[in-house]
């Protein structure tokens, strides 16, 4: 004879009451299965499920014990600009989601942690481990995350918006750039110089990019974007976001190259680099050119000096910072 919903709910309530006074790590799930007209307990092993049912005073009643393959887990996204904590103490900011083969994670500043340091996420749950870190000299690191965290192309922007990264084409001096950080949020400015050497108290770092964007402690490691193109992660600076300041970021492409990482990007939105088959191709606005690529323009051949997305105003003859005549 089938049991009423009230009967099933009453049995479920007794399980709820029993759970309040015991460790349910081995019995992670219990519920009313209205289709089967049963109360179900899912346990990591049958003995644990049977003991839980007995503790609720339901032994011998119509409660099914089923063995679960694994315990449910919380899921969280890796989002640029979110806080993360190192060894449950210091705080930095997530840069960009990456993968190393099948292993997800994120890049951040090298001064945030050393290889082997453990991290917790913005919600203070276990997150991952620093796999590699370089500082001083460079200011780069990456964290491999556990299976509770999912790599996404998202970066936290203003007023709760999320920008999806589509690539990592380096922006030119004078370009607008914005950054996200767990202390001060979203701020924008302009790129002043590339390949800057900075002498911090902790040591010298070369190859940084200087900007007019402000930042404060805790923003370290957070992402810089030019449009939807990843630029780098916050290294250091001076001033603050009340009076203004100067910041330096570690460019992202050297991080990817040094550690063998792949940037997580929004599917179908990234602009593919121009293929090279050995013969120079005609320069075209809108194309992404990698350093070393060769093109022709008005019968003249040029070699690309730095990766960028070509603009109509940046023809090779007039942009010696980007193109060298060959």
Output the CA angle 113-264-245, nearest 5 degrees.
55
d(C-alpha 149, C-alpha 164), whole Å: 17
DSSP labels, 108-124: E-GGG--TT-EEE-TTS
- Residue 290, helix vs strand vs coil: coil
Catalytic residue (one of 97, 133, 182, 220): 220
Q: Which of 93, 111, 219, 235 is catalytic?
A: 111
Catalytic, 139? Answer yes
Q: How many CB atoms lie within 10 A of CB 113?
A: 23
307 Cβ contact partners less than 8 Å away, ≥ 6 residues apart = 169, 170, 253, 288, 289, 290, 291
- Name the catalytic one among 82, 139, 168, 187: 139
Q: Give the per-residue SS3 of 125-155.
A: CEEEEEEEEECCECCEEEEEECCCEEEEEEE
Active site residue 308: no
Interatomic CA distance for residues 120 and 83, integer angstroms: 9
**Is 194 designated active site?**
no
Query: Residue 260 in contact with residue 279, Cβ under 8 Å?
Result: no
For residue 107, give both structure tokens.
């890049």
Catalytic residues: 111, 139, 220
């Amino acid at each position: 004879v089938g049991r009423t919903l009230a009967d099933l709910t009453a049995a479920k309530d007794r399980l709820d009451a029993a759970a309040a006074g015991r460790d349910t790590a081995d019995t992670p799930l219990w519920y009313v299965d209205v289709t089967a007209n049963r109360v179900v307990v899912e346990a990591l092993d049958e003995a644990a499920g049977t003991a839980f049912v007995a503790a609720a005073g339901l032994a011998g009643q119509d409660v099914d014990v089923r063995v679960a393959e694994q315990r449910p887990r919380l899921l969280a996204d890796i989002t640029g600009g979110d806080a993360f904590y190192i060894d449950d103490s210091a705080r930095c900011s997530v840069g960009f989601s990456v993968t190393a083969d099948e292993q997800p994670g994120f890049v951040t500043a090298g001064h945030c942690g050393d290889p082997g340091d453990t991290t917790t996420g913005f919600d203070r749950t276990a997150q991952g481990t620093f796999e590699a870190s370089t500082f001083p000299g460079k200011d780069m690191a990456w964290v491999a995350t556990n299976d509770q965290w999912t790599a996404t192309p998202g970066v936290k922007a203003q007023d709760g918006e999320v920008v999806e990264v589509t690539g990592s084409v380096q922006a030119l001096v004078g370009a607008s750039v914005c950054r996200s950080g767990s202390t001060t949020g979203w701020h924008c400015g302009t790129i002043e110089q590339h390949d800057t050497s900075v002498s911090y108290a902790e040591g010298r770092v070369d190859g940084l990019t200087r900007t007019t964007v402000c930042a404060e402690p805790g923003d370290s490691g957070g992402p810089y974007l030019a449009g939807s193109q990843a630029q780098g992660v916050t290294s250091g600076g001076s001033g603050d976001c009340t009076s203004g300041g100067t910041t330096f970021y570690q460019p992202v492409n050297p991080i990817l190259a040094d550690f063998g990482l792949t940037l997580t990007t929004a599917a179908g939105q990234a602009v593919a680099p121009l293929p090279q088959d050995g013969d120079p191709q005609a320069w075209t606005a809108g194309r992404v050119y990698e350093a070393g690529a060769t093109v022709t323009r008005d019968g003249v051949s040029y070699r690309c000096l730095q990766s960028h997305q070509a603009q109509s105003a940046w023809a090779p003859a007039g942009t010696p910072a980007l193109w060298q005549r060959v």
